[in-house]
């Protein structure tokens, strides 16, 4: 039995995975409730202990994780700062070997082993959540790069001198527009720019979520529709740039934002096509992850323990 943990900016999902790749137990905790990763891991340990599993290892997916060093380093979307030796901490708490990789890499490994990419050698998984990340396979292998941080595609610049990212300080990065946080920021900008009536204006007293924005768009709200069109333009353009880099067989979108609306999804695809040269057009499908969101990340993280080379 292996414990797979997917640490996200908002929630941490974890599950016990057997050797057949089945998740036999899973649960989640709010990441933001824990002041340090050790606290989070101790709590998971408590919960798992009650099940008395025969644990062989712990695999962790997390933003800005470095596989080679076993660390999370300066993660813009976590409140934990600096360089954190996570595998060392996890091995001490669980008393088994532990491995860590980028949460998006874990999702990509999950897609390759159990999901939409089972028969693909070249594909890109884009995770759209609190942050934006990517896991990239080329020639059948996960790309980690020299520094172990390949696929940090949330931080590519799409709008030079564009919106400031609250924690990286970079301007106009994909994440500052296409993450859940970025989409909410766009709504607030658009609401300020006009007097148009919008259900989102009335909801402004409680925190906006992408779920509420997608609902509003599906109900015909103009500001919500404008926001999603704008987001789709930027995301589509970024996907075209990624496609030109590694010429994937498909791009797989993963995470809550992808479930919002079919209109949004179609718009992302058409915007990608608009930004491609002829030989790339109409041959790179953009698809939604086939796996339940939590499953791919947990399975991918767990797979780290079985496959030492990812």
**Given the complex with its own copies, which of 167 and 218 has the nearer CB atom?**
167
Alpha-carbon distance values, 280 to 107, 122, 126, 277, 301 (Å)? 25, 14, 19, 6, 32
By CB under 8 A, is residue 237 in contact with its own copies?
Answer: yes
**Given the complex with its own copies, which of 173 and 198 has the nearer CB atom?**
173
Return the residue of 34, 80, 94, 242 that touches its own copies, per CB under 8 A.
Answer: 242
Return the residue of 10, 56, 91, 168 that touches its own copies, per CB under 8 A.
Answer: 168
Q: E-assigned strands of 18-79?
A: 23-30, 57-62, 65-66, 71-73
- Return contacts of 218-224, CB within 8 angstroms, 24+ apart: 218/261, 222/196, 222/198, 223/187, 223/190, 223/191, 223/194, 223/196, 223/198, 224/187, 224/198, 224/199, 224/200
By CB under 8 A, is residue 247 in contact with its own copies?
Answer: yes
Instruction: With CB under 8 A as the rule, give the number of residues binding its own copies.
Output: 49
**Given the complex with its own copies, which of 21 and 148 has the nearer CB atom?**
148
Judged by CB under 8 A, which stretch of 15-23, 54-62, 245-253, 260-268 contacts its own copies? Answer: 245-253
Judged by CB under 8 A, which stretch of 19-27, 69-77, 108-116, 200-208 contacts its own copies? Answer: 69-77
**Rg, C-alpha atoms of the chain:** 19
**Given the complex with its own copies, which of 15 and 154 has the nearer CB atom?**
154
Q: DSSP letter for 258, please.
A: G
Could you give the CA distance from residue 152 to residue 172 in angstroms, rounded to a whole number?
15
Which residues in 116-155 contact its own copies (CB under 8 A)? Answer: 120-122, 136, 138-139, 141, 143-153, 155
Contacts with 271 (C-beta within 8 Å, 6 or more apart), sequence order: 232, 233, 235, 236, 237, 239, 240
**Given the complex with its own copies, which of 26 and 157 has the nearer CB atom?**
157
Binding site for its own copies (CB under 8 A): 64, 66, 73-74, 76, 120-122, 136, 138-139, 141, 143-153, 155-160, 168, 170, 237, 240-242, 244-249, 275-280, 283-284
């Amino acid at each position: 039995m292996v414990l797979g943990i997917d640490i996200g900016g908002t929630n941490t999902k974890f599950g016990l995975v057997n050797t057949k790749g089945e998740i036999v137990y899973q649960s989640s905790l709010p990441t933001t409730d824990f002041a340090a990763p050790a606290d989070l891991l101790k709590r998971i340990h408590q919960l798992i202990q009650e099940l008395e599993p025969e644990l062989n290892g712990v695999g962790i997916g997390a933003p800005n994780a470095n596989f080679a060093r076993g660390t999370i380093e300066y993660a813009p979307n976590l409140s934990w700062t600096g360089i954190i030796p996570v595998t060392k901490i996890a091995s001490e708490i669980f008393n088994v070997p532990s491995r860590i990789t980028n949460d998006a890499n874990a999702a990509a490994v999950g897609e390759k082993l159990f999901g939409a990419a089972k028969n693909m050698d070249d594909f890109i998984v884009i995770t759209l959540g609190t942050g934006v990340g990517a896991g990239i396979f080329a020639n059948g292998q996960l790309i980690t790069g020299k520094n172990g941080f390949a696929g940090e595609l949330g931080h590519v610049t799409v709008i030079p001198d564009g919106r400031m990212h609250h924690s990286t300080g970079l301007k106009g990065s994909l994440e500052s527009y296409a993450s859940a946080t970025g989409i909410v920021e766009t709504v607030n900008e658009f609401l300020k720019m006009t007097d148009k009536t919008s259900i989102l204006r009335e909801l402004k007293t409680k925190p906006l979520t992408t779920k509420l924005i997608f609902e509003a768009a599906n109900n015909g709200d103009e500001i919500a529709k404008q926001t999603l069109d704008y987001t789709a333009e930027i995301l589509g353009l970024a996907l075209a740039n990624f496609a030109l880099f590694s010429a994937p067989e498909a791009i797989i979108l993963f995470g809550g934002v992808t479930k919002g609306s079919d209109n949004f999804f179609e718009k992302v695809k058409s915007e990608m096509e608009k930004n491609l040269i002829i030989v790339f057009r109409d041959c790179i499908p953009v698809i939604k992850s086939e796996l339940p969101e939590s499953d791919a990340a947990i399975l991918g993280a767990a797979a780290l323990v079985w496959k030492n080379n990812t």
